[in-house]
Amino acid sequence: MKKIIVIGCPGSGKSTLSRKLHKITNIPLFYLDMMYWNADRTIVDAPIFYQRISDIMNKNEWIMDGNYGSTLELQIKECDTVIFLDYPLEVCLDGIRERRGKARTDMPWFEAEDEEDAEFMEFVQNYHMQNRLQVMELFEKYSDKNIIVFNNREEARLFLEKMQIPSKIKLLIDNKPYTVDDVGMSGNRVLIFEDMVLKIEHDPIATRKQVQIMKWLEEKTFVPRVIEYEEKSSKCYLLMSKIGGKMSCDEYYLDNADILLKALADGLKMLWKVDISGCPVVRDLDTVLNEARLQVENNLVDVDNVDPETFGEKGFESPRHLLDWLENNRPTVEPVFSHGDYCLPNIFLEEGQVSGFIDLSRAGVGDKWNDIALCYRSLKHNFSGMYGGKIYEDFNADKLFEVLGIEPAWDKIKYYLLLDELF
């Protein structure tokens, strides 16, 4: 892609997409509105307008944002790629309303918040019945062009996201179909291919540790194989093999709690059997509390996303107060290889057996009771319908201890659940 036009109904987000595309590719960006209109809302003479377009098209690279039916065929003829934002009318109308009253780089004047141009709105209302037909006819005529059509904003966002993927990984996944995983609460992007998974994260330190741990564990237990890892523009791209089976929070396993509990207990024991000598990451209490301190000192604790009783009248005054309590009430530690985030979405099962562990950014040598505590809480949350699933009123998460064959250490469980509230 070197000569690109971005077209679509006004309000679809052509200019926004064009700016993001320009930022990713460094290809010069030109707005047709800036070439057609003067600052006083008069239009330039037609010969001047066409000359401006011609001058751009003589360049080796360009992104051109704008429709202008009189020039559309010329644009399509001269470009190598067409990006068409084919969004529903209501989406475009919402886009128009949202942009009013905001400064724009793609127009030579400021559009007031309460301003509405009747002629312009009539054009928008008729776009899908009239102008869109012209676009489709030109697509048929110039079918040799690279024509990319987006039907919604999510498709456009994913396209831009894929364009930012570093070259080595892009070669490995190019043109392969994928789905987007939206399970989990990390905010990271996960693209799932037939035999691979691409995870896009924003924390280089944590992701590097995860890669290190995964490579160290490769011959020791069931974890994804690291295929490629790259960093670009403050994002981390981890391409790994795909683990078979289903997440342990799948409805099948929630419906079969006995199978689930045994598998989760087996998974914990499997991790605890890993020889921790030579483990490249140590997450002892000193390390984790130091990380918690950074969270508190930088006001990064999301107090709205914690147990309602953690802070307030019945709980701690503040994250600082909680941190002080954690510092002064350290439990005795039973060091093992710890997953660090042993929650149901991070444990994969196949035919009732553990098939793999994922999301290992907090893994390393740590206290076994951290894993037990997070697993216990995850069970309670998933079976209570907290994430929108069924409610299993007869389920008792305490059965986990029975299956593990241990007595619950409630003081340690409380400690690690409170510690997790700071992350």
**Residue tagged active-site, from 33, 341, 367, 420:** 341
Q: How confident is the model at residue 182 (pLDDT cuts 50, 70, 90)?
A: low
pLDDT at 161: 85
pTM: 0.76
Give the span between the Cα atoms of 383 and 403, in whole angstroms.
17
pLDDT at 180: 84
- Rounded to the nearest integer, the mean pLDDT of the chain is 94
Q: Considering only residues 75 and 312, tell me which one the structure prediction assigns the higher pLDDT.
A: 75
Q: How confident is the model at residue 402 (pLDDT cuts 50, 70, 90)?
A: very high
pLDDT tens for each residue of 84-137: 999 999 999 999 999 988 888 998 888 788 788 889 999 999 999 999 999 999
Does residue 341 carry a catalytic annotation? yes
Q: Is the pLDDT of residue 184 over 60?
A: no
pLDDT tens for each residue of 289-327: 999 999 999 999 999 989 999 998 889 999 999 999 999
pLDDT at 109: 82
pLDDT above 70: percentage of residues in the chain: 99
Parallel, antiparallel or unpaired: strands 81-85 and 62-65 = unpaired
Structural domains in the chain, sorted by start: 3-156 (3.40.50.300), 168-241 (3.30.200.20), 246-420 (3.90.1200.10)
Q: Is the pLDDT of residue 22 over 70?
A: yes
